[in-house]
Amino acid sequence: MKITPCGGAATVYAPESYFTGKVLQTPIVEAEAPARLRALTVAFEPGARTAWHTHPLGQTLYVVSGAGRAQVWGEPIREIRAGDTVFFPPGEKHWHGAGPKTAMTHIAMQEALDGKSVDWLEKVSDEQYGA
């Protein structure tokens, strides 16, 4: 058993190269092999969002507070809110983030394949976000 005490994992600002707006990330777990689970809490200020990205083994989001948006490439934007669970299958190009006027926090869970859990792509434009 391993217990990480509250405050034992530092909260950091998400990299600007993969996010638009202010986003805070707090690691929950990065399991050692043979396990592959990686999870973190992600807090988005209003209007903040990820870049387009994919996950080799998929991703599950659990929205813990607020309301936001998520979109799969080629599909309409979907509204998400506290209590919702969102699953993106392996390789599905998507983005997610806060609503234009609402903050949103979710727990992001994904597995790593050969040490990699995400493939970052281009940023979501303001036009795409506002569609």
Decide yes or no: CATH 2.60.120.10 for domain 12-129: yes
Query: What is the mean predicted confidence (pLDDT) over 90-106?
Result: 98
Q: Both ends of the chain: CA-CA distance in Å?
A: 46
Question: Residue range 89-116: average pLDDT?
Answer: 97
Reply yes or no on whether the pLDDT at 131 is more than 80.
no
pTM: 0.94
Name, in order, each residue with C-beta under 8 angstroms of 54's C-beta and a sequence gap of 6 or more: 90, 91, 92, 93, 94, 118, 119, 121
pLDDT band at 69 (very low <50, low <70, confident <90, very high): very high
